[in-house]
């Protein structure tokens, strides 16, 4: 069996994926490597020589795992072949994160490297529909439905993959700073709930409607539970099959300790 290359980003996902593979080749974009995972760095300015190196090793499949933000490009660092792709790469980056990611995937595939999804490599990390712990109230369910509607509408704008909704109102929407910043904002504005004794609110996460699901699925883990608890939310929900759940036993333990529900939600009516 040929080796699979893991393109690792920050966070706990890349180590989890690497552990699930037999002798993976692990690489990280310079400046975005995860802690505690042996890897080799590469630069986007030398993308084609990097791809050549993968092919020379007999690697035919690649999985992207972890958080990567748009790197700053050094014009003097480009090799001649990758430099020819600068207009294409810059145009994609200007069009948003989704366009930039799709362009990177296209370049890998154009050079005979197949892109594997995390769900293909580690299906246990992507929960199917169902309630994992706790029990959402009817008000919570309405808030989850409302959050799903919001993310469906904002997805075309290439914003984030999360929303906090309480009593039908959006308290926070995920943007470039990420989930933790969104939840900190929600915690600061919890007093804006119309009924102080009503539903406290939920966090809902889902991929963007037209997102390539082989890369950059939203992620939930123990830290997400802690952050949601600090925001005084009653639970976390996500699109079933559309989010990665890290360290399931610990995530469930913390949710149960905080009295929160965890729910992989099926299609919204």
CB environment 203-234: b (16+ within 10 A), e (fewer): bbbbbbeebbebbbbbbbbbbbbbbbbebebb
Cα 50 from Cα 162, distance rounded (Å): 33
Query: Among 100, 121, 142, which residue terminates a domain?
Result: 121
Neighbours of 7 (CB within 10 A): 25
Could you give the C-alpha distances from 26 to 111, 139, 248, in angstroms and in order?
19, 44, 23
Does the structure show a pLDDT above 50 at 205?
yes
Examine the domain organization and report whether 116 and 152 are in the same domain.
no
Cα 141 from Cα 131, distance rounded (Å): 12
pLDDT at 25: 95
Examine the domain organization and report whether 180 and 220 are in the same domain.
yes
Examine the domain organization and report whether 109 and 185 are in the same domain.
no
Examine the domain organization and report whether 197 and 230 are in the same domain.
yes
Q: Please count the structural domains in the chain.
A: 2
Q: How confident is the model at residue 269 (pLDDT cuts 50, 70, 90)?
A: very low
pLDDT tens-digit map of 121-161: 899 999 999 999 999 999 999 999 999 999 999 987 878 89
Examine the domain organization and report whether 107 and 10 are in the same domain.
yes
Query: Among 121, 150, 170, which residue terminates a domain?
Result: 121
| CATH (domain of 51) | 3.40.50.20
Three-class secondary structure of residue 46 per DSSP: helix
User: Does 183 or 268 have the greater pLDDT score?
Assistant: 183
Instruction: Decide: pTM greater than 0.85.
Output: yes
Percent of the chain with pLDDT over 70: 97
pLDDT tens-digit map of 208-260: 888 888 888 999 999 999 999 999 999 999 999 999 999 999 999 999 999 99
Query: Which tokens go with 230?
Result: 């600090």
Enter the DSSP assignment of 210. Answer: T
Residues 6+ apart with CB under 8 A from 231: 164, 183, 184, 186, 187, 190, 201, 203
Q: How confident is the model at residue 96 (pLDDT cuts 50, 70, 90)?
A: low
Q: How confident is the model at residue 97 (pLDDT cuts 50, 70, 90)?
A: low
Q: Considering all CA atoms of the chain, what is the largest pairwise distance in Å, rounded to the nearest integer?
A: 63
Examine the domain organization and report whether 156 and 105 are in the same domain.
no
Could you give the C-alpha distances from 115 to 2, 135, 169, 251, 267, in angstroms and in order?
14, 37, 38, 28, 26
pLDDT at 90: 75
Examine the domain organization and report whether 93 and 140 are in the same domain.
no
Domain of 225 in residue numbering reads as 126-265
pLDDT at 59: 95
Examine the domain organization and report whether 104 and 146 are in the same domain.
no
Q: Dump strand ranges (E) for the chain.
A: 4-8, 25-29, 40-42, 61-65, 114-116, 130-133, 162-166, 169-173, 202-205, 219-220, 235-239, 244-245, 261-265
Query: Which residue, 20, 44, 47, is CA-closest to 32?
Result: 44
pLDDT tens-digit map of 27-62: 998 888 888 889 999 998 999 999 999 999 999 999
pLDDT at 218: 93
Query: Among 121, 151, 181, which residue terminates a domain?
Result: 121
Examine the domain organization and report whether 51 and 151 are in the same domain.
no
């Amino acid at each position: 069996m040929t080796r699979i290359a893991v393109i690792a980003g920050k966070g706990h996902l890349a180590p989890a994926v690497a552990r699930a593979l037999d002798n993976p080749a692990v690489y990280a974009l310079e400046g975005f490597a995860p802690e505690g995972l042996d890897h080799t760095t590469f630069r986007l300015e030398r993308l084609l020589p990097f791809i050549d190196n993968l092919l020379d090793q007999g690697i035919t499949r690649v999985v992207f795992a972890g958080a990567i933000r748009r790197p700053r490009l050094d014009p003097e660092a480009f090799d001649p072949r990758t430099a020819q792709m600068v207009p294409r790469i810059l145009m994609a980056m200007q069009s948003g994160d989704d366009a930039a990611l799709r362009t990177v995937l296209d370049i890998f595939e154009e050079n005979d490297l197949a892109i594997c999804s995390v769900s293909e490599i580690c299906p246990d990390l992507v929960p199917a529909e169902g309630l994992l712990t706790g029990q959402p109230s009817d008000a919570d369910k309405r808030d989850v439905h409302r959050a799903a509607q919001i993310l469906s509408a904002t997805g075309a704008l290439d914003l984030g993959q999360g929303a906090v909704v309480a009593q039908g109102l959006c308290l926070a929407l995920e943007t470039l700073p990420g989930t933790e910043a969104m939840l900190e904002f929600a915690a600061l504005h919890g007093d804006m709930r119309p009924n102080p004794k009503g539903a406290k609110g939920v966090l809902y996460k889902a991929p963007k409607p037209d997102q390539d699901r082989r890369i950059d699925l939203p992620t939930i883990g123990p830290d997400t539970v802690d952050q949601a608890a600090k925001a005084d939310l009653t639970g976390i929900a996500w699109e079933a099959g559309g989010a990665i759940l890290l360290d399931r036993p610990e995530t469930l333990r913390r949710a149960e300790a905080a009295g929160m529900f965890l729910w992989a939600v099926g299609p919204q009516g």
